[in-house]
Amino acid sequence: MVKFKRMNLVDWTARLSKVTRRFPVTFVYIVIATVYFCILVSRYLEYDCKAFDFFMSLWSLSGIVLSYMIHLFVEGKGKGKQLAVIASANIIWAGICAFFACNYPLSGTLTAACIACCVAIVLGLFIIPFYGQKDDRPAISFTLNILGHIGLAIVISGILFLGLELLLQSFVYLFGFYIGNTQISYLLVFCFVFLAPSLVVLQTPSAEEMYAVRDWMQHKFMNEVIHFQIIPLHFIYLVTLYFYVIKIIITWTLPDGWVSWLVAALMFLTIIIVGLLYPVNFRAEKKPFDKFVLRYLPLVVLPLLLLMTIGIIRRFSDYGVSVLRIYLLAFNLWCYAVCIGLYVLKAKRLSWIASSFAVSLLILSVLPYNVYTFTRDQLRRDVIGIAGKHGVTQFPMDKLQVEKLLKKLDGYQAGLIVDKLSYLSDNYDSLGTDGIVEEWNVWSYDYVDEESVSADTAVDDESFIDIQYNVSGSTLTIPEGYTSFRVVKYEYNTRYITCATRNDTLSVTLPYTIGGKKMEDVISMPVAELKKIYKAKKPHSVVFYGKNTCFYLTSLCCCLIEEDKEGVLEGVLFIK
């Protein structure tokens, strides 16, 4: 039976004093953050975030993690070296925070750079203190411990917050005290800005314990979590995706965009499994299953990354360049590198995975020519190129020239021009459209309307359906096998319906009531047939079928995208 040492107030005071001397700058940041957020709460009603507020929030919160990481890194080194590294790191980071604050509110480029820097600091906490170690077992053990400590600190802080809030509410009901939102906010600051980080720091193991080599797989609980929860979940993901590969090969269709999220989750699980099985490399007796998983799991996942690649390429082809798509493509390429690197290096070292992610993110976001500037320049080239092909020789264009240009284009190209200009204006302000148009501060609909896009050219739009069938004077007969009908009407003035397009099929879910019981059925409409009706000079009515219903279509207006929540649909639903 394990005996726990009883700690009195003197022991706790001694421990707190010891940890405070070990991480002095970290506790200074915690106090600064707590005091400043209390000041923010006190002026909540007139609060308007300014550059100084942004600086203090970013600098104090990120400084907690940065100083904690630096203290761990310089621990055991000479006093002079410790002071030099701690001072230089904090001064440099304060300067970076000041730079961001001077440019507040941040543009899209600086927002990405700021996020990238913060992510790099967080990842650096699990890498930099262990630089020079023979293997990655201490780093992974520290990561598991600190994640557990963070979870525990959040739970304790949350329980304390709820308990104190209940006590304050008791004062309201029992003694008639007034408790406003400000007092509750003070509690939040104390519990989650002061107490939670302090608890994490207080639980930091000593230097000897932190760098000790441990095999966490020897613990029965951890072993069962790995083998009976995480690996089976990964296997289910693998089976699902490989069955999906078989399906798209048989049907010869492009993968759905949703598959990228599933592949990303699969890759995340792969890295977790490899990290948790890492001690297998250093065991004299290796279990064949663990050895096989550690060695060949990245190769099993590698082909599935092609699904993500094809989905991303399809997005580029359909909708063009965007910042998020370039980041997604970079993540996909990083996943290829991780899988290949794990196999080639036989998973002997793993710290390079987090390091490469942080470095890649910084390169893509922080350098003068980054993802945002590349996207801006590419979109500008696209717009100027299309305009140049249709006779525009002088830039910037005024509103009249833009309208003339859009009249020359078909509906699809006109929509692309408007989308690209709107994207540039929304994400880059005037820097995006300077030199192309004189002013772009109107809604897209000012340009794409019935006058600028004629009916003859609108039929070429591959991502939009607008079917209108005149049913006045028509007589409908209930089809054989169906017993009743319901009139379906989702229009602009009442409500919309969600239209989902996947695997070249548009699906809508239609609710109906029969015998007092609410039911619903999914109506599937082949996109090819809808386009054929759309392009016809005289659209005709058509019937589509669900499991227990059939739908007589008279009107449909929606975009052929993964999910259009503003679809317009009219017709008659026949029920069996």
Domain match, 104 and 205 both: yes
pLDDT of residue 492: 59
| Domain assignment of residue 387, yes or no | yes
The first and second tokens of residue 46, run together, are 């007139």
For residue 105, say if its preceding peptide bond is cis, omega within 30 degrees of 0. Answer: yes
Same domain, 87 and 158: yes
Domain limit, last residue, from 211, 244, 277:
211
pLDDT, position 359: 95
pLDDT by position in tens, the chain (length 576) = 334 445 556 667 777 888 888 899 999 999 999 999 998 888 764 555 678 888 999 999 999 999 999 999 998 888 888 899 999 999 999 999 999 999 888 888 898 999 999 999 999 999 999 888 888 888 998 999 999 999 999 999 999 999 988 888 888 778 777 777 778 888 999 999 999 999 999 988 888 888 888 877 777 888 888 888 999 999 999 999 999 889 888 888 778 767 888 899 999 999 999 999 988 888 777 788 888 888 899 999 999 999 889 888 888 877 788 888 899 999 999 999 999 999 998 888 889 999 999 999 999 999 888 998 899 888 888 888 888 888 887 777 877 777 788 777 776 677 778 778 878 877 776 666 777 877 654 434 344 443 333 333 333 456 778 887 766 556 677 788 888 888 888 865 557 788 888 878 888 988 887 766 778 888 988 888 888 888 776 666 788 888 888 888 888 888 888 777 778 888 888 888
- The 10 Å CB-count burial string (b at 16+, else e) for 47-75 is eeeeeebbbbbbbbbbbbbbbbbbbbbbe
pTM value is 0.72
For residue 200, the model assigns a pLDDT of: 92
- Tell me which amino acid residue 424 is: L
Residue 235's pLDDT is: 93
Q: How far is CA 358 from the centre of its chain?
A: 16
Within-domain flag for 358:
yes
Instruction: Answer yes or no: is 390 within a domain.
Output: yes
Are 393 and 483 contained in the same domain? no
- Cβ neighbours for 378, distance < 8 A, ≥ 6 positions apart: 321
Dihedral sign of CA atoms 21, 23, 25, 29 in order: negative
As for how many domains the chain has, the answer is 4
Residue 363 has what pLDDT?
A: 94
Give φ, ψ of 403 to 5 degrees: -65, -40
In a domain, 175, yes or no: yes
Question: What pLDDT does 49 receive?
Answer: 65
Domain end, chosen from 417, 432, 447, is at: 432
- DSSP character string of 475-494: ---PPTT--EEEEEEE-TTT
Same domain, 223 and 362: yes
According to DSSP, the residues that pair with 568 across neighbouring strands are: 557
- Kindly state whether residue 233 falls inside one of the protein's structural domains: yes
Q: Given this model, what pLDDT does residue 4 score?
A: 41
In angstroms, how far is CA 420 from the centroid of its own chain?
22
355 with 392, same domain: the answer is no
Could you tell me if 345 and 260 lie in one domain?
yes
Let me know whether 344 and 393 are in one domain. Answer: no
Same-domain pairing of 195 and 246: no
Give yes or no: residues 92 and 178 share one domain.
yes
555, β-bridge pairs: 468, 570
**Is residue 446 in some structural domain?**
no
252 & 329 share domain = yes
| Distance from C-alpha of 244 to C-alpha of 249, rounded to nearest angstrom | 9
Residue 475: the pLDDT is: 67
Confirm whether 559 is domain-assigned. yes
Residue 487, phi then psi, degrees to nearest 5? -80, 130
Q: Is residue 350 part of a domain?
A: yes
| Residue 126 confidence (pLDDT) | 92
What the block records as the tokens of 524 is 């599937």
* CB distance 405 to 418 below 8 Å: no
| One-letter amino acid of 391 | G
DSSP symbols for 540-573: --EEEE-SSEEEEEEEEEEE-SS-EEEEEEEEEE
- For residues 472 and 432, the answer to whether their CB atoms sit within 8 Å is no
Residue 539, pLDDT score = 65
Q: Are residues 275 and 362 in the same domain?
A: yes
Range of the domain at 183: 9-211
Do 18 and 143 reside in the same domain of the chain? yes
Answer with the one of 319, 339, 367 that is the final residue of a domain.
Answer: 367
Please tell me what DSSP assigns to residue 516: T
Residue 10 and residue 87: Cα distance in Å, rounded?
32
